[in-house]
Amino acid sequence: MAHISPTSPQSLSAHASKGLNGHVRLPGDKSISHRALIFGALAVGETRITGLLEGEDVLATADAMRRLGADVIRHGTGDWSVFGVGVGGLHEPSQPLDFGNSGTGARLVMGLVAGHPITATFVGDESLSRRPMGRVITPLTQMGAVFHAREGGRLPLTLTGARQTLAMRYVSPVASAQVKSAILLAGLNAAGQTSVIEKTPTRDHTERMLRAFGAEISTEIDADGTMSVTLTGQPELHPCPVIVPGDPSSAAFPVVAALITPGSDILVQGVMMNPHRAGLYKTLMEMGGDIEILNQREEGGEPVADLRVRSSALTGIDVPPARAASMIDEYPVLAVAAAFATGETRMLGIHELRVKESDRIAATAAGLRANGIKLRELEDGMIVEGRAGEVDGGGHVVTQMDHRIAMSFLVMGLASAMPVRVDDGRMIATSFPEFVPLMQGLGGHIA
């Protein structure tokens, strides 16, 4: 996999636009794309995938599945086949598994390898190598895997999977779908039942897809909201066609851009509306955003809808901390929306953002200040003072090699008085390679 060159940054600038208009279909959801490749590799036979996101993160997972023994074939744009080797059938890779910038791919595949008696080395780019892996190393070690990692549980690391994977009951100390998924993936090759208990339920893509591929898995929610997911190990997974819906995290950028850019009226087609992923849209509507949910349907086991979005006068709100898990990746672009709102927007309970591709709280706060926005940065969030639609812009934003920071502030520039420049836009390709041409097609000025 090609790495982003550290010596050739590509700055981008967004300029005030007269209005965004038109309709777009988004690239496939990144979370579903990762999982479709992984479960396809564990099924016996051919899994056909349509709408696969072909960003660098997902392509890294596809390459890892090849190295682990699956045949992964691209037929055309978004159209792929995976010929799997079955649960327990992974091969030991002869070369390191390179995940580039993808924390999701790295953590999920650690769970996958941990349940097999093989050894693999995990590597990534500079950004991924700074991110802590301890949250998955701890439970996977309890299941019998052995890790040799840099200080702090960081990449590069070498993992030797369990010879006899131990089923377990794990109470997760963090709200993380990646942790839950890693444990369930390891538990697939364990005799008995593996359970993950979450005080705050997280996105359930892994559970939905496991059921679709034939695993025995159950979910229970207690009166206090605690969720228990229980998987029966050593199933025979069967191929299942996967239609990848549009990524709600990618949809966030054109949606917020349309809300804050006067004269906008767009239709975003085929957006996944899984309740564990749709917190941003609920929040934006509470702020007064004109978002109409149309043509609700189900595709590939996930709820999907089209969103008609018109420019709106937004009002600041207190975002419930309990909603964080359903929109954790969308807080940077929500902060941009908050900058254009009237009044304060309080976003708390989001300490998880400190350990993403960058410290997203700090990076977002710095970007807002660079464009004339006042805020209070807290350890677990921020309070943004809105400018009632009158944002100066004119700032230079340091992205910290984070794709969501780059896209969020380019969205700001489409509606601010002066252009907003980001220092580097190359990493946008990790999740949304079509972002710039898509926004230009709606009338956005990005150069």
The angle, 0 to 180 degrees and rounded to 10, between the axes of the packed helices 177-187 and 205-212 is 30
| pLDDT, average across residues 285-313 | 94
Q: What is the pLDDT of residues 178-190, one digit of tens each?
A: 999 999 999 999 9
- Asked if 172 and 289 sit in the same domain, the reply is no
* Catalytically annotated residues: 329
Q: Which residue has the tokens 């003072």?
A: 385
- Asked if 222 and 314 sit in the same domain, the reply is no
pLDDT at 88 over 50: yes
| pLDDT, average across residues 306-313 | 98
Taking the model in full, what pTM does it have?
A: 0.82
- Asked if 152 and 251 sit in the same domain, the reply is no
Main-chain phi, psi angles of 303, to 5 degrees: -70, 135
Choose the final residue of a domain: 243, 273, 305.
243
pLDDT band of residue 8 (cuts 50, 70, 90) is: low
- Asked if 219 and 317 sit in the same domain, the reply is no
| pLDDT, average across residues 227-231 | 97
The angle, 0 to 180 degrees and rounded to 10, between the axes of the packed helices 30-42 and 103-114 is 20
Q: What is the pLDDT of residues 100-153, one digit of tens each?
A: 999 999 999 999 999 999 999 999 999 899 988 999 999 999 999 999 999 889
Q: Do 182 and 108 touch, CB atoms closer than 8 A?
A: yes
Helix runs in 115-226, H state only: 126-129, 134-142, 177-187, 205-212
pLDDT band of residue 333 (cuts 50, 70, 90) is: very high
pLDDT at 4 over 60: no
Note the pLDDT of residue 342: 98
Residue 339 backbone zone (phi > 0: left; psi -120 to 50: alpha; other: beta): alpha
Tally of CB atoms within 10 A around 318: 12
- Asked if 34 and 23 sit in the same domain, the reply is no
Choose the final residue of a domain: 212, 243, 274.
243
Q: What is the pLDDT of residues 188-221, one digit of tens each?
A: 999 999 999 999 889 899 999 999 999 999 999 9
Burial of 95 (0-12, 13-18, 19+ CB in 10 A): exposed
In a domain, 2, yes or no: no
In a domain, 320, yes or no: yes
| pLDDT, average across residues 387-398 | 98
Rounded to whole angstroms, how far apart are CA atoms 353 and 366? 14
- Asked if 236 and 300 sit in the same domain, the reply is no
What does the H/E/C string look like for 271-319? EECCCCCCHHHHHHHHCCCEEEEEEEEEECCEEEEEEEEECCCCECCEE
Burial of 8 (0-12, 13-18, 19+ CB in 10 A): exposed
What does the CA dihedral 425, 416, 377, 151 come to, rounded to 10 degrees?
0
pLDDT at 5 over 70: no
Which one, of 137, 39, 115, 125, lies nearest residue 84 by Cα?
39
The angle, 0 to 180 degrees and rounded to 10, between the axes of the packed helices 103-114 and 134-142 is 10
| pLDDT, average across residues 265-279 | 95
147: containing domain:
30-243
- Asked if 84 and 50 sit in the same domain, the reply is yes
In a domain, 1, yes or no: no
In a domain, 430, yes or no: yes
* Percent of the chain at pLDDT exceeding 90: 89
* Percent of the chain at pLDDT exceeding 70: 98
Per-position DSSP letters for 321-366, written without gaps between them: GGGGGGSGGGHHHHHHHHHHSBSEEEE-S-GGGGGSSS-HHHHHHH
pLDDT at 301 over 90: no
The CATH number linked to 301 is 3.65.10.10
Choose the final residue of a domain: 243, 276, 305.
243
Total domain count, the chain: 2
In a domain, 4, yes or no: no
- Asked if 399 and 423 sit in the same domain, the reply is yes
pLDDT at 357 over 80: no
| pLDDT, average across residues 71-92 | 97
pLDDT at 418 over 90: yes
More confident residue, 433 or 160: 160
In a domain, 330, yes or no: yes
Number of residues that make up the chain: 447
pLDDT at 375 over 70: yes
Rounded to whole angstroms, how far apart are CA atoms 315 and 337? 10
Measured distance between the N- and C-terminal CA atoms of the chain, rounded to whole angstroms: 27
Note the pLDDT of residue 1: 39
- Asked if 262 and 398 sit in the same domain, the reply is yes
Which one, of 37, 34, 39, lies nearest residue 106 by Cα?
34
Q: What angle do CA 242, 356, 62 make, to 5 degrees?
A: 30
Q: Which residues pair with 45 in a beta bridge?
A: 84
- Asked if 219 and 366 sit in the same domain, the reply is no
- Asked if 220 and 294 sit in the same domain, the reply is no
In a domain, 375, yes or no: yes
- Asked if 284 and 423 sit in the same domain, the reply is yes
Which one, of 415, 370, 365, 375, lies nearest residue 394 by Cα?
370
